[in-house]
A and B are shown apart, each in its own frame.
Chain A
Amino acid sequence: MSKIRMTDDRMDRRTFLKVTGAAGLGVTVSAWGVPKLLRAEPAPIKIGSVQPATGPLAVIGQGQRRGNQMAVDYINSRGGIQSLGGAKLELLLGDSESKAEVGRSEADRLIQEGAVMLIGAFQSGVSMAIATLAEQRQVPFVMDVAALDDITQKGYQHVFRLFPTVSVFGETGVAYVKQIITEKKVEPQRAVVTNTGDPFGKSQGENFIKWFEKSGLPIEIVDHITYPLGIHDLSAEVAKIKAAKPDLLFPVCRPGDSIILTRELHKQRVPLMGIISPGSPGWYEPKVIQDLDKLVYYVMDNVPWVYPASPVYQEANKLFQEKYGTYLDTNSGYAYAGILVSADALNRAASTKTAALLQALRETDFKDHPMVGKAVQFKENGDNINAATAMVQVLPDPDPNRRVKVVLPKEFAEADYVFPAKQLWERE
């Protein structure tokens, strides 16, 4: 029963918000003074964030939350949503537990608690479930991170995505590999692709191979190894990799398996020109950098990375470091950008109504984000036209928080890349 009453309250507040928002500055001129107080404190606008805060991807999920939350704090510190009377943003948190059905139910709860937009959900499966819910409930859903192409292929009207799709990863990844080989005048002959057995890993691995074969590079993919997400032992797989005698390794990992994989490559002395990930977590997370130390040096990863020279990034990263002791990476960076884009849409819509928000989102042209790439603009199907990836490389630096560097494309690069790399066991 109390539930029902709470909802009614909320409806009242929302109507109230619209009134104050629409009235805007006009109210302040009134002689009473009380409305002025109201104008200073319009009811917050709620955005629902659903991320995998528990479960096997919890490390990333919590980073996502932090990215979302930091951006909300940033917007609020800058005076909230101007066109809505300086209304503050409020982030409602949902936990998908890495499960589609839970993600859906959490998103539904957040909508009921007054979220006018949804953001999330890192995993493509969970994002798919929420996308369908967003379509059912007619609430805009901005995917900060989620890579599978299929999600935006369903003709849904309420779904937007900042993150590059798997196809983009495949195409850009292969192009970078080509560039590296050409620039360094090396001639690798054989390569092995590995990926985790989950929607992202499978899709990313297969797409990369598809683009690779299309590119006509004179390198043979001699083995493609898929192992379960959350595997504990890769010694047998690495023995198999060694037997395949590759020059290059293209691993699609998650935190955890990247550590086992690298250590096994070291122990079994697998000679490689380099490790280049087609685009995956597992190589740039602070914990991985710290635990693998020298072993993760020179690993390259084709990811949509932060753009270190951008002022938005520098400001956000400084706060992030202060608050959480780590740096903004691909995922938390996109989580941050996702909120900025949502806030921008809210501001231009000057409304929290779905129709106005959708209209504003479709017209998005948002440059001031912290990532590598041009302004965020959405295609018909909701994908970000300008979603791009960068090649990052882990390079030696006394400060572990500064080891991940953008190396390609050149216009965003912070450092020159090293290739071929020293073998894992020859590093001192």
Chain B
Amino acid sequence: MDPHLALQLIIQGILLGGIYGLIALGLSLIFGVMGVINFAHGQMMVMAMYVSYWLFILLSLDPYLSLVGAAAAVFVLGYLIQATVVNRILDYPEAMQVLPLVAMGLILENMALLFWGPDHRSPQTALSLQTLWVGPVMIDVSRLIAFVLAIAITILIFIFLKKTNIGKCIRAAADNRTGAILVGIDVDRIYNTSFALGAATTGAAGVLLLPLMPLSPHMGHDFTLTAFIVVILGGMGNLIGALVGGLILGLAESVATLFLPATLKQVVSFSLLVVIMLFRPQGLFGGKK
């Protein structure tokens, strides 16, 4: 085996894995707090990518600069989705919870198609072709930045949940809904905020992906599935687990290239998923939440 190739694949896998982790973090947060699975997760990410894309095209604002703005836009979107739809279905049987969010994904995906057309958009940003070389091994600068920012955002979310008042309320509502209501927390609003926060993190991840891959209305679905796998690997509702799960998946997909055709890589991911659910349903890392 070519050692340079292996090293190259490992580095690329880890860097992409960081972004996978950030995408999944939002899903894990939403599940951890409300117990619903956001089937529109990838599609919400795509919305943020379009916001960032248009800011780049119209105002020449680099995606890294529009990151906060795009995340904020999806924060609002998430807040509205939770307030209008998800809050009403929390007490439904699970089968009925699945459909509205699946339908939401369908709506978002086709809104993107209706508004912006089917084109694959991939403008060349300032950094999208920059590379660093360590001997024969290439490090993609946009990937490195994305990785670093993804880790930074994950840490920020963590601090937010631990230290701030809202963060504490979110954790309280996640642990015990009735208890939270009893101590006077406006649980609906906390839920809205949690969903919005989960949406914003996936939105931020999408913006980080913008310099790396063409944007198109139909790409969201794949990332929803990726996020599922990561979250199961790391443990549903486990935020650090999401990050580590992302790194593992990124690494596994990249290194699998040595042994498997690209078209079969997902078999590995999905098989891993089933095995983890069977033997470590709490995820690879640690105890139950």
Contacts and interface: CB of A to CB of B under 8 A. Distances in A.
Interface in A199-256: 225-228, 230-233, 235-237, 239-240, 242-243, 255-256
A243 B2 contact: yes
A287 interface: yes
A232 B213 contact: yes
Contacts of A228: 262-263
B135 interface: no
Nearest to A98: B218
A229 to B, nearest CB: 9
A243 B118 contact: no
A267 B139 CA distance: 9
B257 A239 contact: yes
A291 interface: yes
B120 interface: yes
B120 A236 contact: no
A231 B222 CA distance: 9
A267 B213 contact: no
A62 B118 contact: yes
A313 to B, nearest CB: 24
B184 to A, nearest CB: 45
B145 interface: no
B213 A235 contact: no
Given A226-B263, A243-B4, A266-B129, A236 B257 contact: yes
A373 to B, nearest CB: 29
Contact of A58 (B2, B4, B118, B253): B118
A54 B258 CA distance: 35
Nearest to A237: B262
SS class, residues of chain A in contact with chain B? helix
Number of chain A interface residues as a range:
35 or more
A288 B138 CA distance: 25
A197 B260 CA distance: 14
Number of chain B interface residues as a range:
35 or more
A362 interface: no
A60 B205 CA distance: 29
Contact of A236 (B122, B129, B253): B253
A269 B219 contact: no
Given A59-B120, A62-B118, A259-B120, A232 B5 contact: no
Interface string B60-95: 000000000000000000000000000000000000
A233 B257 CA distance: 12
B121 interface: yes
Contacts of B262: 197, 225-228, 231, 236-237
B154 interface: no
B12 A58 contact: no
B16 A239 contact: no
A243 B5 contact: yes
Given A226-B262, A239-B8, A256-B120, 14 more contacts: A225-B262, A230-B219, A232-B209, A232-B222, A233-B213, A235-B12, A260-B122, A263-B128, A266-B129, A268-B138, A269-B138, A288-B120, A291-B124, A292-B124
